[in-house]
Amino acid sequence: MKEQNPQERINNFNEVALGYTPEQAILEAKRCLGCKNAGCIQGCPVEIDIPGFIAEIKKGSFDKAYQVLKEKNNLPAVCGRVCPQETQCEKACVLAKKGKPIAVGSLERFVADWAISHGVSERPEQKFKELERNTQYAIGNTKKIAIIGSGPAGLTAAADLAKTGYQVIIFESLHAVGGVLRYGIPEFRLPKEIVDTEVGYIEKLGVKMEVNAVIGRIKTIDQLRVEGFKAFFIATGAGLPYFLGIKGENLNGVYSANEFLTRVNLMNAYRFPDYDTPVNIGRKVAVIGAGNVALDSARVSRRLGAGEVTIVYRRSESEMPARFEEIKHAREEGIKFELLTSPIKIYGYENGWVRAMRCLRNRLAEPDASGRRRPVAIPDSEFDFDCDLVVVAVGQGPNPLLLSTIPELKLNKRGNIEADPEGRTSVPDIFAGGDIVTGAATVIEAMGMGKRAARAIDNYLTKLINC
């Protein structure tokens, strides 16, 4: 797929990958074997009929391809851009064994973009087709369901429940919907316009969205029950940033990745000077961590004008959790990597601003509980690393604000909600899914949970009516 040149793209926030042309899409689709027992479907958490949509691309029927996609996936233009296909459908493709799986993600993106640009992405018959599959009870009933959190889990559950005929309201604490799709993933990987379009489709299904609505603060679940809501889906994500717990993390110029990316994405700092909300970017930026969040922070810093940006990571490249494609893009954009390195202290000037970081070198020992080789500090390997901005991207956990108001809801040791694979929790009318259950994971996993929970909520409400 064609990409924006690295030298150009470090000066703008436009998309890096430019998408397939129709000819490229058809050519790639023709490689698909249309397997009967398609591994690719099993590798997809939302069970898209992958051979089905690819078969339509082969024929040049992009409209039909889109309908097949949309049967299962409410956010195809998002997934085509950010899903880790290499570890899911593409990994399970039979052609992966021969070294070149079908580029399912690129094809999905092509079809979704084609539908948007040809105005077929929000056609009402799509909705009616889905409605034919409804349960007999849900159609036309007015049972109200509250979805808390508007990330991919919440949006997916909301769309599926609306298609089933329920009255669905999403409550979102921020002033805009989309969750991480909006405030975390930067414009050059996922344009806001794409999020707007796919959220627009969900609104057209009848889902209402209330923003600036922090549930647990403005209203409790109990109050929502009194207002007539019959079931709840908690999809509040993993919004609480973790820190390293080292000295100096409270200095000026140390950000959590969450705050840094929110300022850039949600507060429009990436559109300076059109928006006067600039982020004070450093000359030398250190980003601690090597997941997608860290790589995004590093690449955003580069685009905001940092002279030098370095990823500081305690293990080696093969243990990095970020997508391979993002690591490759970061390298092309001149991001440096200080591997097998752990920060142990951050130094500041007298005025309270960051000056440098003290680090230790590591070697790798045997694998730990995560299956990755454990970093062990090498004695006397301390060194100082100059930097004037530090972004800490070492993971996120559950925000306890809402959970503390539902003491009857069972949580695990890490503070995540305990839920079965269908999203059922210890409270019969409360379901949960996405990062709030799994811990920080992926968009498609969150969507898969949203889908399964929607089915479970429908079953629960159907039984309630029968009793």
Ligand X SMILES: Cc1cc2nc3c(=O)[nH]c(=O)nc-3n(C[C@H](O)[C@H](O)[C@H](O)COP(=O)(O)OP(=O)(O)OC[C@H]3O[C@@H](n4cnc5c(N)ncnc54)[C@H](O)[C@@H]3O)c2cc1C
> Using CB under 6 A as the criterion, which residues of the chain lie in contact with ligand X when the complex forms?
82-84, 148-154, 171-174, 179-180, 184-185, 213-216, 235-237, 239, 261, 292-293, 296, 323, 399, 401-402, 434-436, 440-444, 446
List the beta strands (DSSP E) in 89-196. Answer: 144-148, 167-171
CA distance 433 to 45: 13
Please state, in angstroms and rounded to a whole number, the distance separating the CA atoms of residues 95 and 232: 42
CB of 338 to ligand X, least distance (A): 20
Pick the binder of ligand SF4 from 16, 20, 39, 296 (CB under 6 A).
39
Nearer Cβ to ligand X (134/439): 439
Contact partner, 150, from ligand SF4, ligand X, none, Cβ < 5-8 Å per class: ligand X
Contacted entry of ligand SF4, ligand X, none for residue 239, CB cut-off 5 to 8 Å set by kind: ligand X
Helices (H), 30-123: 39-42, 50-58, 62-72, 76-82, 89-92, 104-117
Which residue in the block uniquely carries the two structure tokens 């604000």?
401
Nearer to ligand SF4, 88 or 292 (CB): 88
- Write the interaction track for ligand SF4 spanning residues 373-412; mark x where CB under 6 A is met and - where it is not: ----------------------------------------
Looking at the Cβ atoms of 393 and 444, the one nearer to ligand SF4 is 444
Q: Which is nearer to ligand X, 277 or 438 (CB)?
A: 438
What three-state secondary structure class fits 348?
A: strand
Q: Contact, 257 vs 251, CB < 8 A? A: no
In the complex, least distance from residue 458 CB atom to ligand X, rounded to whole angstroms: 19
DSSP 258: H
Q: How far apart are CA 39 and CA 147, in angstroms?
A: 32
Secondary structure (DSSP) of 199-229: HHHHHHTT-EEE-S--BTTTB-HHHHHHTTE
Q: Would you count residue 35 as binding ligand SF4 (CB under 6 A)? A: yes
Under rule CB under 6 A, residue 26 binds ligand SF4: no
Partner touching 211 among ligand X, ligand SF4, none, CB below 5 to 8 Å by kind: none
Of residues 65 and 436, the one with the C-beta less far from ligand X? 436
DSSP state of 269: G
Token look-up 């800490």 returns: 392
Choose the one of ligand SF4, ligand X, none that binds residue 215, judging by a C-beta under 5 to 8 angstroms depending on kind.
Answer: ligand X
**Single-letter amino acid, residue 136:** Q
Q: Binding partner of residue 320 among ligand SF4, ligand X, none, CB under 5 to 8 Å per kind?
A: none
Q: Choose among ligand SF4, ligand X, none what residue 391 binds, the Cβ cut-off being 5 to 8 Å by kind.
A: none
Contact 234, 149 (CB under 8 A): yes
Out of ligand X, ligand SF4, none, what residue 40 binds, judged by CB under 5 to 8 A for its kind, is ligand SF4
Cβ atoms of residues 352 and 254 within 8 Å:
no
Alpha-carbon gap, residue 258 to 323, rounded angstroms: 19
Residue choice 50, 213, 264, 417 for contact with ligand SF4 (CB under 6 A): 50
32 is a contact residue toward ligand SF4 (CB under 6 A): yes
What are the structure tokens assigned to 158, written together?
């909301």
As measured in angstroms, the least distance from the Cβ of 449 to ligand X is 8
Shortest distance (Å) from residue 116 CB to ligand SF4: 23
CB neighbourhood size of 372 (10 A): 15
Give the one residue of 33, 365, 378, 465 binding ligand SF4; rule: CB under 6 A: 33
304 counts as binding ligand SF4 under rule CB under 6 A? no
Q: Which is nearer to ligand X, 55 or 441 (CB)?
A: 441
For ligand SF4, which stretch binds (CB under 6 A), given 80-88, 92-100, 336-344, 426-434? 92-100
How far is it, in rounded angstroms, from Cα 69 to Cα 219?
37
User: What gap in Å lies between CA 247 and CA 100, rounded to an integer?
Assistant: 47
Instruction: Assess contact for 209 and 172: CB atoms under 8 A.
Output: yes
With CB under 5 to 8 Å by kind, the binding choice for 236 among ligand X, ligand SF4, none is ligand X
Distance CA 189, CA 90 (A): 20
51's contact among ligand X, ligand SF4, none, with CB below 5 to 8 A by partner kind, is: ligand SF4
Q: How far is CA 180 from CA 76, 115, 176, 268, in A?
A: 16, 24, 11, 15
User: Per rule CB under 6 A, is residue 94 in the interface with ligand SF4?
Assistant: yes
Residue with tokens 């991207």: 393
Residue range at the interface with ligand SF4 (CB under 6 A); choices 4-12, 30-38, 144-152, 182-190: 30-38
Give the C-alpha separation, 196 to 270, whole Å: 17
151 touches, from ligand SF4, ligand X, none (C-beta below 5 to 8 Å by class) = ligand X
**Which of 112, 45, 105, 106 lies closest to 75 in space, CA to CA?**
112
**β-strands 341-348, 354-367: how paired?**
antiparallel
Binding stretches for ligand SF4 (CB under 6 A): 32-35, 38-40, 50-51, 54, 93-95, 102, 104
